[in-house]
Amino acid sequence: MNHPDQSALKARNKLLAMLLLLCVLDITLVTIARDWWAIGRILPTIVVMYFVMQGQKWAKWLLMSICSLLVVILITMVLALSSKLSTILIVGSLIMAILSAIIAIYLVSSKDLNRYFVFKRQASCQ
């Protein structure tokens, strides 16, 4: 198997698009909130995303954990601080929570994506 099949590549592209959207949304919300310390959270997450795309199992599980934790934290933040947050931050945080949940579910459930990860692991061993 020299190249992954089309469905595996489409699954990879879909994941890349979701990860890119998550990063853009996260950076936008950090900029709006002027929470510059959050950059310390975003940069390691981008590094983990890179290793996920290389097919690393540990990175996949770590990214799923990060996404799951983001869902809990963002929803809790919106519920606890809704009176202190702007509408843009509330809506953006909820969208980010939903996108994080979708990414975590996609990482677990997509057979095509798993075929892509297997291909990447096999290619790195050769």
> What integer pLDDT is reported at residue 1 of this predicted model?
53
> What integer pLDDT is reported at residue 114 of this predicted model?
93
Residue 68 is part of which domain span?
6-125
Nearest residue to 51 via CA among 42, 61, 41: 61
Report yes or no on 109 lying in a domain. yes
Report yes or no on 120 lying in a domain. yes
Report yes or no on 81 lying in a domain. yes
- Which residue in this structure is represented by tokens 């690393």? 56
Report yes or no on 73 lying in a domain. yes
Q: Mean pLDDT of successive 10-residue segments in the chain (126 residues)?
A: 83 96 92 83 92 93 95 94 89 95 96 92 80
Report yes or no on 1 lying in a domain. no
* Entry pTM: 0.89
Quick count: other Cβ atoms within 10 Å of Cβ 119?
Answer: 19
Quick count: other Cβ atoms within 10 Å of Cβ 18?
Answer: 17
Total count of domains within the chain? 1
In this predicted model, what pLDDT tens digit does every residue of 90-113 receive, in sequence order? 999 999 999 999 999 999 999 999
Report yes or no on 110 lying in a domain. yes
Q: What does the H/E/C string look like for 82-98? A: CCCCCHHHHHHHHHHHH
Share of the chain above pLDDT 70, in %: 98
Report yes or no on 106 lying in a domain. yes
> What integer pLDDT is reported at residue 100 of this predicted model?
96
